């Protein structure tokens, strides 16, 4: 790394691109600030010394300069001179070394020192002007060059997608086949043993919890805890440095790229969970780390009547100001960077409703969504919204623009209610199983707009969903007051661990019911990491601060729960092999073809009669059968060929006792065979001879209490 010199004078350089851009010879630095009166580039040496270099060139409020001999690995930051007047929304503070909003890598840690605050913590009315350099992170000039070789983004269509939500550290920190130095890192996630497991499950896309550089919360650190989930971003173009096995400054960038390259080679897409709704600087009492000291009023949404304070649609203290063109530019530049330079395949937007708040109400036609729609790069990758925030009117499931897919919270709630035995769920269950047309059909979207999930990082794991009625978050140090109180969970008869064989068997069956329902529903399924292993958090439904075995994937369970892994893989294979479970269009519910008698879908009571309005509205029904017509898909593949498939009968029994289902006969079928049975640990439905159980059409088949049975038409 070239050591900085106090005597350097920068060349004029260019106002674009923003950030530190190495061109093979030197580095261009560019920083936006409309509030600044003077900007100093600080070059940091290996001993922590700094050279302050004034950027005298300004174009369109972008301060810039070119340093002809600055190489990758150089540490740097900014000091912005300008008004400090919180009452008017201005918070420039040159005593704080500021991170580059366009920084592509960071090193160091932000500690609990008071020096990172611009005010005296004991007297908020007084300034605190001690230099923060030795207590904060620094930005790093990175080498943009990387040998991608033959890397190609898989461009997996949504109807072939199975998403696996995972945490980089938690996924691999306990994996016995990953070398110790790679556990918990990008390199660990790219390890062949991890990739092989994903392939076994039929996963086509891994959705990584936040990997943008984030900051540890002071309050958590004081309690001996850490921000494990990472929803506390400070750098929107930088990979989280702590997830890299490489210790070289900026080494996280090449390691992240290598991970993507390895996953792509295995046919697995990489989707990032991104947090563009707020930053780690918190509310008006938060630290000055970057955006606040550069141009507070441009980057943050301030209250109209008193700009000392921040609008908070996220519950974290601040909200990014998506009404400002430079903040929108930062978000769009970040998205393009991760696609073009890091080769990621899509994004899941945390609290996406907050990005739609141009005024107060959520507006799906806001400037952000217009920009995404028009962008030739970003518009072509997977865009997934978490369609809510904590503000008024923030729950917007079904209301995002046609280009977007959404985490379908209504799917989660309905499926949970059905399998725990809540009444009056059959009608809504039918809608959720078939792609939620009530949410997505009116605006021109298809079943693929629904990202279906039963569990995610936020809430119970699947094993805990069937083992706890109440949350048990005592380890978080908040007196169990944090986390969701209404979980739609059922402990199957005992709270937490039990040796009762009946309860243990029921819980295992319920887990299989949830996985089978998820993978056999129309839409895009998302599995939460470790659910296929029986991962537990001991009833903690808000493990955001648990960077510990409580939240990590326990790979030792893979052998113990090998049948559950096999069940998940078997069910995913059924989905992959049969397009009738992953239709691109909604069911019509009408007869197909000229003179056709069968519709593309049919709904039956256990007695074999077609469902009537009274059956749907009974309020106590907990069982139904769904006929899926493989000849009624009415779609063509990429070669223009008509898509046809086997036909299936999906029987769901949410009752506490056996039910005999009469199988459709006549024009429906002559013979059925059991394809999947959730009473079986690995899903196989075999007869006494070890062959798939055959059922003569028109005869009854017994479906066990709280179980799912899938029959395939054989003739």
Active site residues: 350, 386
Q: Contact, 530 vs 551, CB < 8 A?
A: no
Distant-in-sequence, close-in-space partners of 557: CB < 8 Å, separation ≥ 6:
533, 534, 535
* Measured distance between the N- and C-terminal CA atoms of the chain, rounded to whole angstroms: 72
Helix axes 192-201, 562-577, angle to 10 degrees: 60
The helix/strand/coil state of 449 is helix
Nearest to 270 by CA among 182, 380, 153, 385: 153
Q: CA-to-CA distance for 207 and 524, rounded, in angstroms?
A: 13
- Beta strands (DSSP E) in 312-356 are 346-349
Task: Identify any residues that bridge with 127 across adjacent strands, giving them in sequence order.
Answer: 119
Q: Residue 532 phi/psi, 5° resolution?
A: -75, -5
Q: CA-to-CA distance for 319 and 631, rounded, in angstroms?
A: 50
Task: Identify any residues that bridge with 452 across adjacent strands, giving them in sequence order.
Answer: 525
Which DSSP state fits 322? Answer: T
Token code pair at residue 1? 């790394």
Omega prior to 17 cis, within 30 of 0: yes
Q: CA-to-CA distance for 9 and 56, rounded, in angstroms?
A: 10
- Beta strands (DSSP E) in 47-122 are 50-54, 57-59, 62-67, 75-81, 84-85, 90-91, 106-107, 119-120
Q: Give me the sheet containing 27-32, strands edge to edge.
A: 19-22, 27-32, 62-67, 57-59
The angle formed by the CA atoms of residues 599, 605 and 610, to the nearest 5 degrees, is: 35
């Amino acid at each position: 790394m070239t050591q900085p010199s106090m005597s350097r004078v920068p060349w004029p350089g260019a106002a674009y691109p923003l950030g530190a851009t190495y061109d093979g010879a030197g580095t261009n630095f560019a920083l936006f600030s409309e509030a600044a009166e003077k900007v100093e580039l600080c070059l940091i040496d290996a001993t922590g010394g700094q050279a302050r270099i004034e950027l005298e060139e300004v174009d369109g409020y972008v301060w810039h300069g070119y340093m002809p001999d600055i190489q990758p690995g150089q540490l740097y930051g900014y000091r912005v001179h300008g008004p400090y007047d919180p009452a008017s929304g201005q918070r420039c503070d040159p005593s704080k070394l500021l991170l580059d909003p366009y920084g592509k890598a960071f090193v160091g840690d932000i500690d609990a020192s008071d020096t990172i605050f611009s005010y005296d913590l004991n007297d908020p009315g007084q300034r605190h002007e001690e230099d923060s350099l030795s207590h904060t992170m620094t930005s790093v000039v990175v080498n943009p060059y990387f040998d991608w070789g033959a890397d190609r983004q898989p461009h997996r269509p949504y109807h072939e997608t199975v998403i696996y939500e995972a945490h980089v550290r938690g996924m691999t920190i306990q994996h016995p086949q990953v070398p110790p130095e790679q556990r918990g890192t990008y390199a660990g996630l790219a390890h062949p043993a991890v990739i092989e497991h994903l392939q076994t499950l039929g996963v086509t896309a891994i959705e990584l919890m936040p990997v943008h550089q984030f900051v540890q919360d002071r309050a958590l650190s004081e309690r001996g805890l850490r921000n494990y989930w990472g929803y506390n971003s400070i750098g929107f173009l930088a990979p989280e440095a702590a997830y890299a096995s490489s210790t070289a400054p900026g080494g996280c960038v090449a390691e992240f790229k290598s991970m993507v390259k390895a996953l792509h080679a295995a046919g697995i897409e990489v989707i990032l969970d991104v947090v563009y709704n707020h930053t780690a600087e918190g509310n008006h009492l938060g630290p000055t780390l970057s955006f606040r000291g550069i141009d507070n009023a441009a980057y943050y949404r301030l209250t109209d009547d008193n700009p000392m304070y921040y609008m908070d649609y996220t519950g974290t203290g601040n909200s990014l100001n998506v009404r400002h063109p430079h903040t929108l530019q930062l978000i769009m530049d970040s998205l393009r960077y991760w696609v073009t330079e890091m080769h990621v395949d899509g994004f899941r937007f945390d609290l996406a409703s907050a990005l739609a708040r141009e005024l107060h109400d959520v507006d799906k036609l806001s400037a952000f969504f217009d920009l995404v729609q028009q962008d030739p790069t970003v518009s072509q990758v997977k865009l997934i919204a978490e369609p809510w925030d904590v503000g008024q009117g923030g729950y917007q499931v079904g209301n995002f623009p046609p280009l977007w897919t959404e985490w379908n919270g209504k799917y989660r709630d309905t499926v949970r209610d059905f399998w725990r035995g809540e009444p009056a769920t059959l009608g809504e269950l039918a809608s959720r199983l078939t792609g939620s047309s009530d949410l997505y059909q009116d605006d021109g979207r298809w079943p693929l707009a629904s990202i279906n999930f039963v569990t995610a990082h936020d809430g119970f794991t699947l094993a805990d969903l069937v083992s706890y009625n109440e949350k048990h978050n005592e380890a978080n140090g908040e007196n169990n007051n944090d986390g969701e109180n209404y979980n739609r969970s059922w402990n199957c008869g005992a709270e937490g661990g039990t040796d009762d064989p009946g309860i243990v068997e029921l819980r295992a069956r319920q887990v299989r019911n949830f996985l089978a329902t998820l993978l056999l529903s129309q839409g895009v399924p998302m599995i939460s990491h470790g659910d296929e292993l029986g991962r537990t958090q001991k009833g903690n439904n808000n493990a955001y601060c648990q960077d510990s075995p409580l939240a990590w994937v326990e790979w030792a369970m893979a052998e113990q729960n090998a049948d559950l892994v096999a069940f998940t893989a078997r069910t995913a294979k059924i989905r992959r092999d049969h397009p009738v479970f992953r239709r691109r269009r909604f069911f019509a519910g009408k007869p197909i073809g000229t003179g056709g008698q069968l519709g593309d879908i049919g709904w039956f009571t256990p007695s074999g009669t077609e469902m009537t309005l009274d059956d749907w509205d009974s309020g106590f029904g907990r069982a139904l059968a769904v006929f899926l017509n493989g000849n009624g898909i009415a779609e063509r593949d990429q070669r223009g060929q008509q898509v046809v498939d086997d036909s299936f009968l999906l029987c769901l029994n949410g009752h506490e006792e056996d039910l005999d289902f009469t199988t459709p006969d006549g024009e429906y079928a002559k013979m059925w065979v059991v394809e999947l049975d959730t009473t079986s640990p690995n899903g196989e439905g075999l007869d006494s001879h070890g062959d798939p159980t055959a059922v003569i059409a028109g005869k009854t088949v017994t479906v066990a209490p709280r179980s799912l049975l899938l029959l395939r038409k054989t003739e």
